[in-house]
């Protein structure tokens, strides 16, 4: 199934929501350190509710370690600077859907990492800076899953 990668997430509630997203869609959630919280954080636990045991969540020391562990697969980096719109991609179950930290998104180095297949964006009204991290991941994962007729893992 699809693999969600949050690079250095800062807000526990967003990661908690992503845990629920992974649990209900069968996607894997990969988190790259540094994390802006620990797994005992009450906001993370509240947002994830009782889905923590139903989701596949892996924490990686850095981005290169994450890519090594994830193995093959296209990497789509989601950024407001993306040249493609998320609905223009024919998603494959082995795809890695990479998102940056809430405060600044993906770093310039992340955007040009040798593993990145393409920079992708979600449309927004002009003059707006960004959308919520968990919401973006949900939109993309459900589009990818929809393209595969909501196949069960």
**Domain residue ranges in the chain:** 3-147
Q: What pLDDT score does 40 carry? A: 72
Q: What pLDDT score does 43 carry? A: 61
pLDDT above 60 for 111 = yes
**Look-up: residue for tokens 């997203």?**
21
Q: Cα separation of 51 and 100, whole Å?
A: 23
| 40 contact partners, CB below 8 Å, separation of at least 6 | none
Greater confidence, 32 or 40? 32
pLDDT above 90 for 135 = yes
Greater confidence, 142 or 37? 142
CB 133 within 8 A of CB 14: yes
pLDDT above 70 for 90 = yes
Q: Which of 45-59, 80-94, 116-130, 136-150 has the weakest average pLDDT? A: 45-59
Greater confidence, 2 or 153? 2
Q: Which CATH number fits domain 3-147: 3.40.1280.10, 3.30.420.40, 2.60.40.1930, 1.10.101.10?
A: 3.40.1280.10
Q: What pLDDT score does 46 carry? A: 61
> What counts of helices (H) and strands (E) characterise the chain?
5, 7
pTM of the full predicted structure? 0.93
Strands (E), 104-153: 116-121
């Amino acid at each position: 199934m699809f693999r969600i990668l949050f690079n250095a997430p800062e807000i526990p509630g967003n990661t908690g929501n992503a845990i629920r997203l992974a649990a209900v869609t069968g996607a894997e959630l990969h988190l790259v350190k540094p994390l802006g919280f620990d797994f005992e954080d009450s906001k993370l636990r509240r947002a994830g509710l009782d889905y923590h045991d139903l989701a596949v969540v892996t924490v990686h020391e850095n981005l290169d370690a994450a890519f090594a562990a994830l193995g093959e697969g296209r990497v789509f980096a989601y950024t407001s600077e993306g040249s493609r719109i998320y609905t223009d991609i024919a998603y494959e179950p082995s795809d890695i859907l990479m998102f940056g930290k809430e405060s600044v998104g993906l770093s310039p180095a992340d955007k040009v990492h040798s593993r990145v297949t393409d920079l992708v964006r979600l449309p927004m009204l002009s003059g707006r800076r960004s959308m919520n991290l968990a919401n973006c991941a949900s939109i993309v994962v459900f589009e990818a899953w929809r393209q595969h007729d909501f196949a069960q893992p």
